[in-house]
Structures are given as C-alpha cells and as structure tokens.
Amino acid sequence: MQTIKCNWDSGSQSVPPQIPPAPNQAHFPAAAPTSIAKLKSNPQMKVGIVVFPGSNCDHDAWYAINSNLHGNAEFIWHDSPTLGDAEAVILPGGFSYGDYLRCGAIARFSPVMRAVKEFAAVGGLVLGICNGFQILVEAGLLPGALLRNIDLKFHCQEVALRTETAHSPFTSKLHKGEILRVPIAHGEGRYFADEHTLDELEAEDRVAFRYLENPNGSARDIAGILNRERNVMGMMPHPERACDPLMGSVGGLGILESLLASTPVLAAR
Amino acid sequence: MTITQELITQHQLTFGEYAKIVALLGREPSYTELGVFSVMWSEHCSYKSSRIHLKKLPTEGKYVVQGPGENAGIIGIGDGWVVAFKIESHNHPSYIEPFQGAATGVGGILRDIFTMGARPIAVMDSLRFGNADQALSRRILAGVVQGIAHYGNCFGVPTVGGECVFEDCYAGNPLVNVFALGVCKANEIFYAKASGIGNPVIYVGAKTGRDGIHGASMASAEFTEESKQKRPNVQVGDPFLEKLLLEACIEAMKTGAIVAIQDMGAAGLTSSSCEMGSRGGVGIDIDLDRVPQREPGMTAYEMLLSESQERMLLVAEKGREDEVFHVFRKWGLDAVTIGTVTEDGKLRIRHHGQTMAEIPNRALADEAPKYDRPHNVKPYRKAPVDPPAAIPQSRDLTADLLTLVASPDLCSKRWIWEQYDFMVRTNTLAGPGSDAAVVRVKGTDKSIAMSLDGNGRYCYLDPREGAKLAVAECCRNLSTTGALPVAATNNLNFGNPERPEIMAQLVEAIEGIAEACAFFETPITGGNVSLYNETLGEGIYPTPVLGIIGLMKTAKPIPVSFQREGAHLVLLGGFGQTDPIQFGSSQYAKVIIKDLWGQPPKLDMAYEKRVHEAMREIVAQGLAESAHDLSEGGLAVALAESATSTTGAEVKVGHAAIAAFSLFGESPSRILVSTSSPKQIQSIALQFGIESPIIGVTIKERLQIGNEDHMLIDVATADLKHSFEDALPRLLKTQNAA
C-alpha cells in the first residue's frame, strides 16, 4: 500500500472520530427479560437507532447524537427481537425495504417493531423521523397517514417549523411558538387524517410542529405529532440534519437535546 | 451455429475484427464467443477509437493513488484517507427510456465507487437536452430528473450539484453524465485484480435476467429509426437492492476474506470476469448453471451478455467463503460460488456440462482493436467566424438581463435539485446552486470540493480551446470556494468517430484537456468516452465534460450570495476582453441575438492560474464575504446571481463599443468578490500579477450597472430573482398544458 501524505496533513491534530460501526444483531447485550425498570439520569441516555434494510439516515442520527450532542447512540438491527438496554428509540429516515408497496408498510412487520410497540406501550420514548414517522403511522402507534406530496414531487429543502407544544419529552427544551429551521427530504410527507382525528390532535395538544409554509399539502400544516401518552413522536422534517452549524442550521438541536435530557419513564426489557 | 457474414455484421464487428478473433482463438468462435467478443470489443467497452489518444492525458500527480484502468480513480487526501471518484455516461439509454436510463446510470457509477471499498458520499449530474420549447425534450428532462432522484434518494447518496443545458443538437441525443465520489481509508481500498489459483469466484446481488442484453453495443452505434425499438436493451434499476449491496459489500470487505471485486456493469458477467482475470494474469472458470437466474431457459449467450443491475463478482480466499456468505445472507442477498480462479489465463464458460466459451482473458480485455481513425481535417463546424454584419445595439439591456436570467441554460435549476436529496449523510457544506459543491469527510478535518463543467458551444467553435476552458472553469469554481484543485475525471461525448471531422473534434478536445490538466496540475484519473451520439446523421456538439475535485480544510464555504449591504465589490481578474468575435459563443449571442459565430473566449492559462492562486489566498485570509466566478452570461449575470431579493449592487463598468460586450462577455479568469477589505484584496492581486478593479458596492434591493456615461441596467433585485426562479417551473408547466 502506498503511503499517502500531502503537504497539509493535519498530523497529530485530533479530529472527531466519527464513523459508525456496522449494525449487528448482537450490538446491545440483550438484557434478561426479568430486568426491572431503571430510572437513570442523563446525558448518557442510551439511544437505540433502528436499522431497517434501506434506512439511510441512520448514520446521520448516530452522528448527530454521538458527535454533535456527545450522547450515546447505538444501532439496533431490524430483526432483533429486543431493544437491548436502549432507553429511547429512533426510527430513522430512509426507504425501509425499498418502501415498495407503501412507505413504511413492510417495515411495520419486521421483528424489531414488536419490541418497539411493547416499549412504547410501557412509556418508552420513540421518535420517528421521516420514514420513521411513516412506519409509526403504518404500525398504528400514531394516527393518520402520510400521502404523496401534493405536487407529486420529492422535496429537499429547508423549511420553517413552529413549535406547537413544549409539553413533551421531545420538545421540552423549546418554547411554544419557537420557530425552527429544519430540512425536509421526502416524496410522501403529506399528513392526512380525518377531521375528527385532527380536531382531537389539536384538542389534546398533540400537534408538535407545523410548517409555516406548507411544502407538501399536509392537513392543517402538520409536520409532527405526538401520541396520546406523549411518549411517541413522529415528524417528517429531519432534526438530525440540523445539529451542526457547518450544515447551515442548528434548528434540530433543541429536539434531540430535549430527548436526551428527558427522564426515561421505563427502560427497555 | 455457423458464423455467417450476416451474424458478424449484426454483432457490429467488422470482417477485419472477425479475422483477428479467429487469429487469437486459432479457430472459428462459437456463437456465444462471438457475442462475448462483440460486447468486449464494442466502442463502449474497448475505447477502440479513442484509446491511442487517451494516452496523451496526464495521469500522474502527487495526490494520485490510482489512475485510469480500475473501476474508479483514487487520490489521497492525507491522514490515511482516500477519495474514489469517476464520471460515466448513460446517454443512449436515457433517450430510449429516460427514467430507467438515468436511474441505472446513477446505479452503475455508484457500484464503480463502492467496488473499490469506498462509501459513496456525493453524486453530481451533467445533463443536456434538446430545446426546452420542445415537448420531447421536456419529457426526457422530467424522466431523467425523476430517475436520478429515485435512485440517488433511495440509495442514500446526496446529489450535490451538476449542470443542465438545452441545445437543439441534443434533441435526439440527450447527455446524462453522472459523477460519483466516495471515501475510504487508504488501507481499505479494493481492486479488481483476481489472484490465487483455486480461489472461489462468487456472484452476489440481483439475479440475472434478460434485460440489457447488448446494451454496450447499443451505446456504440448511431441512432436510427429502429433504435426506439431497443427499449428492452435498457436495464431496470432497484436502488433498494443496491443499498443492500453497498452495505453488504463494505461489511464483507471488512472480513478480510475478499481478494478482488468488480461490479457487473456494461457487458455484465463477461466484462467483470475477463477484466478481473486479465488484470491478475489468471484464468477464470465459470459454471453458468450456478448463476442465480430470474427466469428459466436462459442461454449461455443471454446470461453472459445480460446487463441486469445490482450485481457484483468477487474473488474470495479459498476456505473463507462462509464468512462472505454470512454477511450477504444477513443483508438478504444471493451469494453463490459460480467458479474458480485458474492458472491458464482463460475465461472458460460452462453451461449444462458443455464448454460454451474458452477465450484468453487478455484477448477480450486487452487485445481489442485500436484504431487510429482518420482525423487530419478541420474539426466539424458550420458557424461563421465573423460576426453578423451589424451586431444589433440593444435598446434595453435591463430587459436583456431579465431575459437571460430566465433563459433555460441560465435560470435557476431549483426545480431539478429540490427533487434530489442533497443533504443525506450530513456532509453537504455547499450544495446545488454553489459554484462548487463541498462535502466534508467525517473523521478528518478535510472537505472535498467538486465541480462539473462542459460547454458544447465553445467546443463546437474550437474543441481544443473549449476543452481547456472547461478545465479552467472547474478549477476556478473550486478555487472560488477556497479549494485546491487536485485531480480530474472526464466524460467525452462526441458523434460518430468514423467521420474524420468528428474524430478531429475528439482528438483536439483530448489534446486540449491534456494541456490544461497538465498545466493546472489536475491529472485525469479515469473517465468515460461516449461516441456515436448521432441521430440520423446529425451529431451533437462536441461535449467533453470535466469533473474536477479539490481539497480544503473543513470550514463554512464562501457563499455565492451577497451577505450585506455596503460591501465592496472587487472583480478579481479584471474586465477581460470585449471582442466581437469571441462574443459569438456567449449566452447573449445565443439567447438575445439567436446566433452563433466566432471563437470561444480567449484563455490565458498562466493568468487564469494566478487568479486561482490569488483567490485561494483571499479565502485563506478570510477576506471574502461572498464570491462567484464569472462564466456564462458574464459580469451582469454573475451580479444577478449573487444578488438576493433584498441585496443588490451598484456597479460601474468600462466603456465598450457595444455595451453588451462589457456586461455579458464571457472572458474567463474572473471572480466577483464582495468584501470589507478591498485594499487588502488588491494587494494580494498585485502580488499575483492580476487585475482587481473595485467595481462598486452592494446596495439595497436594486441592481444598477452603468458606465461613465449612462446607466445601462437598473432593476429591482426582487424582479431579477423572480425571473430567475420562476423560469424553469413555468417552462415545464407548459408541458402539462400541452
């Protein structure tokens, strides 16, 4: 192998070592099923990022948490039957299983989703971003559906979001009404639900974010929603892409900081 | 089957070539062997018309780790990291089936990158279509853009930049050139060189079907009326499968059990096996019965020539196959041992227990014919040298500027690039709409800047000078962001090389690239040649497309847009020449005068290089608030592009016989810089011996350009931005109405 040296080598200067490892079935030691709830203080909350075949924002979420927020994230392989000792779970963006059939429609059947559902049912924190939001909707963890953008085109752009509630583990570090600049990148992000559901979401303060300028035709400008118990959030915009000043905006930091700062209700089993 | 003259002609082989096959084999080839030779010796795979001229390109430099000859070029960026990059065309398929043609173009080049062990982190596209007022061109454009978006977005690689040009000559031959770049550690590079007698040859990825048979041959002939019936020759891509293949390959490479690996691109199984064998000086035995097949009853001929996508061939260490299989199983992919490495240097194909082909690998990969096609004539051009008798003196230069910024070539391409995920992998520091795209390399303090450029109009008027201008512009783009240009790849798109005046264009352009790349110290590390871009005898403009990459320390790149009011504007490089003959190649001549004449702008490479050096110094000293290189549309268009809806500029230009010359002339070697320290910039410019007039200041909401006597242009920046941004969506909406 040739030695590569160029005149501007940084030498011993240290740089953030940030190449994520390959996801593996046995990445987290699976905890004994009898393990009891651990209440743990942060910032070392262990975040599990689920890797479906076709996830492609998994590395970005990993980088944002580990490198931008100095947190502790690891990958969970899609056919893992448990979440190991993860205290919060992120379903990342991408095209799980190619998004053939319908976005998220196949991913909801993968083994890890059973564990995610059980985790959510006992109060575990679950954040679905983009394709992750689509999966949560398909899995019935959040109401409504995500349809093709109204102009039938994929949109990659920065959008302005208004924070609609600070009352959730994902938005606790934000103020109601705070405007965040965060990118979107999706072809099927038009939030849809029947009027009754939309009224209910609003009445229960479960709309987390709205677009200031609706890019995709979402009902009532909705960009992100919470479940009734407020421990599951789905959003189409990508907070993990807006955590580094070099990338243009840091509008996503507050969301991930809120997550890391929250107290896990219950750790996974 | 007896090989008849008709069969030879059908396979696009000449009788001379057939005689050479017989001589190499010492016998008549079988039908299967004839098919194998026909693809491997096609123009697309063998570069038989261009090879002797490509040798003239500089390929070595201090950053180069791997030059031409592998799946992609590699350069070192220091700290133990390398970058693999290459450009490739998918022109012919994109005309026949725009969506899949473009999508598989992206898929093919991505495999070229990750087969070297490098994870793709950026893609750019250079696109050319027929006139935008034609429904066919708009339909091809929409299909190509959707195809690129479909593949790149799903695969998870950001499409960070590119170019898109409209010209009549591309109506029947659109150009889709895709550039991809990946990174890996220097000690993790993989090569496509088979070795180790007895090692297993493993097939991974998608099953083999009947799609794409003879795609390489299709790309090696002119289009005729019948070409449209070749739709079955266009492959169908599956970006999801490719994403799995990427992850599985990179994981499998880490096992240490892989000896060599190559993707199955053009000519599929045939080219991957004989090229890997030839590079390693070994033979390869393949048993086709073991190849995963999509449909029953495929013949050896079909399997060998299939261009089904998302497949790879690899050589593993004997006894360690299971480690490789384990990884591919984890990702749900087929991985099957289909053959072994042998010592006799031959490609031996068995099917149903019979030997269907037995050809020395070298004969296929290295003994392809090389032609020195006649080219001692003037390169083809029909345009006059002299300007039209009277170049009309415009009465409304403001209207001209508004028309130019809304013209298909110069208008905002937002409609295109917002359909691409240009941010995934969170490395994009400068994306589409910048002079050069910039992506950081995580784990290092370095970033890669990259630029794609070609100019068919310039090259049509003078292929040599046009090619040099493309190299210069790429390097200028990189320097404008503060990056040092280090290496290049090129895509040569030309017409029929059997016509001497077209061959002359090719030779002139290659020599121009060679001269400029040597001068700017950006060696060519690989590339692609696409010939026969002709339909019914009408060729495209000679269109060499350069992709040049540069290195910089990771930092926020200098933006194109003005950042505030009251900044001084320096025109680094000066006002340039205002010459009526050179004006004939400008966008103003194309859009406003609707004509083409004369010569491309005159390039002084030494001066150009000094401008780059000065610009990098200006960036290094933190003096530039914004910077934008001048190219098509000249100074006025550069000012319009730098303006925002709230910030414009008040600028004074020199006097010219015709005012449009100084506003819209496309003299190279110029960069517009906004700054609070114009004097410091001028002193740097002085050190490098270049001009640097202070031409004005940024102001609120208007762009005003005048000379000593008159106001020439006065327009609200909001109107400019509106014209610039609205043009493409409006143009494409007509399509829906039609």
B329 at A interface, C-beta within 8 A: no
**Is the predicted pLDDT of residue A24 greater than 60, yes or no?**
no
Stretch B75-97: mean pLDDT: 95
Residues in chain B, total: 738
Q: Hey, are the CB atoms on A246 and B554 less than 8 Å from each other?
A: yes
Residue A17 confidence (pLDDT)? 40
Nearest CA to B405 among B636, B584, B630, B586?
Answer: B636
Residue B30 CA to residue B12 CA, distance in Å, equals 16
B239 at A interface, C-beta within 8 A: yes
Chain B residues with CB inside 8 Å of A18's CB? 442-443
Chain A residues with CB inside 8 Å of B553's CB? 8
**8 Å CB contact between A131 and B271:** no
Give the model confidence (pLDDT) of A143-153 as tens digits: 999 999 999 99
Query: A-contacting residues of B 409-438, CB under 8 Å?
Result: 417-426, 428-429
**Is the predicted pLDDT of residue A41 greater than 70, yes or no?**
no
- Judging by DSSP bridges, how do beta strands B119-129 and B159-166 pair with one another? parallel
CA distance B78 to chain A (A): 5
Stretch B236-242: mean pLDDT: 94
Mean pLDDT of chain B: 94
Please name the member of A63, A93, A100 whose beta carbon is closest to the beta carbon of B442. A63
Nearest CA to B247 among B337, B297, B312, B317?
Answer: B312
**Is the predicted pLDDT of residue B118 greater than 80, yes or no?**
yes
Residue B222 confidence (pLDDT)? 73
Residue A6 confidence (pLDDT)? 36
**ipTM, interface predicted TM-score of the complex:** 0.94
Residue A65 token pair = 């948490």
B494 pLDDT band (50/70/90 cuts)?
very high
Query: A-contacting residues of B 543-582, CB under 8 Å?
Result: 551, 553-556
Q: What angle do CA A187, A191, A196 make, to 5 degrees?
A: 165
Query: Closest chain B residue to A60 measured between Cα atoms?
Result: B425
Residue B316 CA to residue B327 CA, distance in Å, equals 13
Residue B563 CA to residue B642 CA, distance in Å, equals 9
A101 pLDDT band (50/70/90 cuts)?
confident
Mean pLDDT of chain A: 87
Chain A residues with CB inside 8 Å of B555's CB? 246
Nearest CA to B269 among B322, B211, B205, B313?
Answer: B313
A99 at B interface, C-beta within 8 A: yes
Which one is catalytic: B11, B53, B90, B568? B90
Chain A residues with CB inside 8 Å of B424's CB? 56-57, 60, 93, 185, 241
Q: Hey, are the CB atoms on A185 and B421 less than 8 Å from each other?
A: yes
Helix axis angle, B634-642 to B397-405, nearest 10°: 70
Give the model confidence (pLDDT) of A216-254 as tens digits: 999 999 999 999 999 999 999 999 999 999 998 999 999
Please name the member of A19, A53, A154 whose beta carbon is closest to the beta carbon of B332. A53
Residue B695 token pair = 């031409």
CA distance B444 to chain A (A): 6
Q: Hey, are the CB atoms on B551 and A16 less than 8 Å from each other?
A: no
Chain A residues with CB inside 8 Å of B551's CB? 6, 8
Chain A residues with CB inside 8 Å of B82's CB? 4
**Is the predicted pLDDT of residue B737 greater than 50, yes or no?**
no
Q: Mutating which of A110, A131, A154, A249 best tests the B interface, going by the most B Cβ atoms within 10 A?
A: A154
Residue B657 confidence (pLDDT)? 82
Stretch B577-590: mean pLDDT: 95
Residue B650 token pair = 């008040």
Chain A residues with CB inside 8 Å of B330's CB? 25
Residue B608 token pair = 């150009």
Query: Closest chain A residue to B74 measured between Cα atoms?
Result: A4
Taking every pair of Cα atoms in chain B, the longest distance, rounded to a whole number of angstroms, is: 88
Stretch B132-160: mean pLDDT: 96
CB pairs under 8 A between A and B: 132
**Is the predicted pLDDT of residue B633 greater than 80, yes or no?**
yes
The DSSP 8-state label assigned to residue B212 in this structure reads: T
Residue A269 confidence (pLDDT)? 43
**Is the predicted pLDDT of residue B230 greater than 70, yes or no?**
no
Query: Long-range contacts: B320-328, Cβ < 8 Å, 24+?
Result: B320/B255, B320/B257, B321/B200, B321/B202, B321/B257, B323/B252, B323/B255, B323/B257, B324/B202, B324/B252, B324/B255, B324/B257, B324/B258, B327/B248, B327/B251, B327/B252, B327/B255, B328/B204, B328/B248, B328/B252
> Residues near B32 by Cβ (< 8 Å), separated by ≥ 6?
B299, B300, B301, B304, B349, B356, B357
Give the model confidence (pLDDT) of B300-320 as tens digits: 999 999 989 999 999 999 999
Residue B392 confidence (pLDDT)? 78
**Amino acid, single-letter form, for residue B2:** T
Please name the member of A5, A67, A245 whose beta carbon is closest to the beta carbon of B78. A5
> Residues near A5 by Cβ (< 8 Å), separated by ≥ 6?
B76, B78
Residue B213 confidence (pLDDT)? 79
**8 Å CB contact between B124 and B109:** no
Chain B residues with CB inside 8 Å of A59's CB? 425
Query: Under DSSP, is residue B311 helix (H, G, I), strand (E, B) or coil?
Result: strand
* Active-site amino acid positions of A: 130, 238, 240
Give the model confidence (pLDDT) of B636-661 as tens digits: 999 999 999 999 999 999 888 889 99
The DSSP 8-state label assigned to residue B674 in this structure reads: E
Distance set, CA A4 to CA B66, B77, B121, B193, B517 (Å): 12, 7, 21, 21, 22
CA distance A94 to chain B (A): 7
Please name the member of B154, B250, B421 whose beta carbon is closest to the beta carbon of A156. B421
**Is the predicted pLDDT of residue A18 greater than 60, yes or no?**
no
Q: In DSSP terms, which residues pair with B529 in a beta bridge?
A: B492
Query: Long-range contacts: B687-691, Cβ < 8 Å, 24+?
Result: B687/B614, B687/B617, B688/B610, B688/B611, B688/B613, B688/B614, B688/B617, B689/B610, B690/B572, B690/B573, B690/B574, B690/B607, B690/B610, B690/B611, B690/B614, B691/B571, B691/B573, B691/B574, B691/B575
Stretch B93-113: mean pLDDT: 95
Residue B214 confidence (pLDDT)? 72
The DSSP 8-state label assigned to residue A130 in this structure reads: T
Residue A202 CA to residue A165 CA, distance in Å, equals 10
A263 pLDDT band (50/70/90 cuts)?
confident
Stretch B477-498: mean pLDDT: 97
**Is the predicted pLDDT of residue B453 greater than 80, yes or no?**
yes
Burial B632-649 (b: 16+ CB within 10 A, else e): bbbbbbbbbbbbbeebbb
Place of tokens 């208007």: B702
Place of tokens 């559902």: A117
Lowest mean pLDDT: which of B48-62, B138-152, B377-391? Answer: B377-391
**Is the predicted pLDDT of residue B557 greater than 50, yes or no?**
yes
Please name the member of A1, A94, A100 whose beta carbon is closest to the beta carbon of B186. A1
Give the model confidence (pLDDT) of B408-430 as tens digits: 999 999 999 999 999 999 999 99
Residue B465 token pair = 């000078």
Residue B560 CA to residue B433 CA, distance in Å, equals 8
Residue A183 CA to residue B424 CA, distance in Å, equals 10
CA–chain centroid gap for B208, Å, is: 28
**8 Å CB contact between B676 and B625:** yes
Distance set, CA B347 to CA B273, B275, B293, B343, B645 (Å): 7, 10, 20, 11, 63
Residue B550 token pair = 């540069």
Residue B236 confidence (pLDDT)? 86
A267 pLDDT band (50/70/90 cuts)?
very low
Q: Hey, are the CB atoms on A95 and B153 less than 8 Å from each other?
A: yes
Q: Dihedral of the CA atoms B115, B186, B257, B205 (nearest 10)?
A: -20
Residue B6 confidence (pLDDT)? 92
Burial B207-230 (b: 16+ CB within 10 A, else e): ebbbbbbbbbbbbbbbbeeebeeb
Q: Hey, are the CB atoms on B419 and A8 less than 8 Å from each other?
A: no
Q: Hey, are the CB atoms on A53 and B243 less than 8 Å from each other?
A: yes
Nearest CA to B346 among B728, B25, B732, B1?
Answer: B25
Query: B-contacting residues of A 151-210, CB under 8 Å?
Result: 153-157, 183, 185, 187
**8 Å CB contact between B189 and A89:** no
Q: Hey, are the CB atoms on A246 and B186 less than 8 Å from each other?
A: no
Q: Percent of chain B having pLDDT more than 70? A: 97
Q: Hey, are the CB atoms on A57 and B156 less than 8 Å from each other?
A: yes
The DSSP 8-state label assigned to residue B43 in this structure reads: H
Gyration radius of chain A's alpha carbons: 18
Residue B91 confidence (pLDDT)? 95
- Judging by DSSP bridges, how do beta strands B534-535 and B538-539 pair with one another? antiparallel
Which is it for the CA torsion B406, B407, B412, B417, positive or negative?
Answer: positive
Which is it for the CA torsion A75, A78, A81, A87, positive or negative?
Answer: positive
Stretch A187-205: mean pLDDT: 98
B735 at A interface, C-beta within 8 A: no
